Amino acid sequence: MSKTMLPREAELRNWAARGLEAKGEVLLDSMSRLKAVVTRAAFPATARIKCRKDEQYRYVVEVEAEMTVTLQCQRCLGDCEKELTTTSTLCVLWTEDAVNELPVDYDPLIAGDVSNLHAIIEDELLLALPAVPMHEMGSCGHVPTVFGDLSGDAVVEKENPFAALKGLLKNTASAADKE
Residue 99 lies in a domain: yes
Q: How many CB atoms lie within 10 A of CB 49?
A: 24
> Is residue 106 in some structural domain?
yes
Nearest to 64 by CA among 115, 106, 110, 22: 22
Q: Is residue 13 part of a domain?
A: yes
H helices within the chain, ranges in order?
Answer: 12-18, 32-37, 117-128, 163-178
**What is the total count of domains within the chain?**
1
Asked, for residue 70, whether it belongs to a domain, the answer is: yes
* 111 vs 92: CA distance, rounded Å: 6
Note down the domain range covering 70.
9-128
pLDDT of the chain, 179 residues: tens digit per residue? 347 999 999 999 999 999 999 999 999 999 999 999 999 998 999 999 999 999 989 999 999 999 999 999 988 888 999 999 999 999 999 888 888 888 889 999 998 889 999 999 999 999 999 999 988 877 776 655 545 555 555 555 667 777 777 777 766 666 666 66
Picking from 130, 150, 152, the residue whose alpha carbon sits closest to that of residue 142 is 150
> Would 141 be classed as within a structural domain?
no
- For residue 72, tell me if it sits in a domain: yes
Whether residue 73 contacts residue 94, with contact meaning beta carbons closer than 8 Å, is answered with no
**Residue 148 falls within a domain, yes or no?**
no
pTM: 0.74
Report d(CA 170, CA 175) in Å as an integer.
9
Is 57 part of a structural domain of the chain? yes
Residues 6+ apart with CB under 8 A from 60: 16, 51, 52, 53, 54, 89, 90, 91, 92, 106
Q: Are 133 and 82 in contact (CB under 8 A)?
A: yes
